[in-house]
Amino acid sequence: MNESIFSAENAELRASVPKGLPLIVALQGLSDAGGTLTQLERYFWERASPEEIVRFNSDLLLDYRARRPLITFDEDHLSDFSPEELVLALGKDELGSPFLILSGYEPDFRWEQFVDTVLLLVHEFEVSTTVWTHALPMPVPHTRPIAMTVSGSREDLIDARSVWRPTTRLSASASHVIEYRLHSLGEEVVGFALLMPHYLANAEYPSALMAALNGIMSATGLIFATDEIRAAETEFNTRVNEQIAENDESQEMVRTLEARYDAYMEDRGAQSPLISEDGTIPSAEQIASELERYLAEQHGYGSGDTETGDGGF
């Protein structure tokens, strides 16, 4: 017997969803530098009043032993069993404009079935544009605006916002495959890969959430409140600057990253400052070992092992 890929469905809501809405995809998976997707998912569930349309069947898609769910032991009994979820929901922006959001874990199994189902949902709801984002730890300074690589079908956004355009083989995520399939079908789709300061990769970096929302708003026309995020961004950066100011080597490393960043932004046609002369991506150890050692002694800015990877755009 074939099990349904959905474990729950709000049939009434599903039938009433307006056609032509944008779809935001926020799947945890390959890389979440700066806690970008964690913050983004939390922001939408707290601010967008999402209503669940369908819930995907975790027994089919999730490896429970690889990502064990949490449960609370409360003195003498167990409570609050919290398995991960993957849902498609209907939310609203600050002006009440509706949009679709697909959020939760990245499936461990049945990628083809999952992606095919997402494509069918895009067709069913006549989605106007699909937008997804993720974040990568890179040798860039926190004192400059977050740069990004933009992919997909929106040439205007690629021309205006895409700072680095590498050609490389990389480990795919389910969101990559969704973009690839949608693009091949002629659907409008945009991917934002945010380039995070690698020494802040393990922290929840407010600037990462701000950059993700700005990208989504530019692609969809939706409006999201950012005043609280800006305040958190200012406070966070002040604390980081105070820590860095206590160490001369850390200050020099940040100045070096700033100089490379500024030089590249002045001449976008030159070789990216994010790569070495041989064309490879420097590791965190090569770029900022002194800074990482310093921040490792501090609390709250997570400097442990960072994922330098293969340029996972």
Mean pLDDT, all residues of the chain: 87
Its CATH architecture, for the domain 6-66+82-224, is 3-Layer(aba) Sandwich (3.40)
* Residue 81: HSE in the Cβ half-sphere, 13 Å Cα cutoff: 5
Strand, coil or helix: 306: coil
Cα separation, 6 vs 117, whole angstroms: 10
Residue-wise pLDDT tens digits, 92-143? 999 999 999 999 999 999 999 999 999 999 999 999 999 999 999 999 999 9
Amino acid at 25: V
Q: Residue range 79-89: average pLDDT?
A: 93
- Compute the distance between CA of residue 98 and CA of residue 276 in angstroms, rounded to an integer: 44
The pTM score is 0.84
**Can you list the alpha helix ranges (DSSP code H) found in the chain?**
11-16, 36-47, 58-61, 111-124, 155-161, 174-184, 206-220, 227-244, 248-266, 284-296
Give the confidence band of 180 by pLDDT, cuts at 50, 70, 90. very high
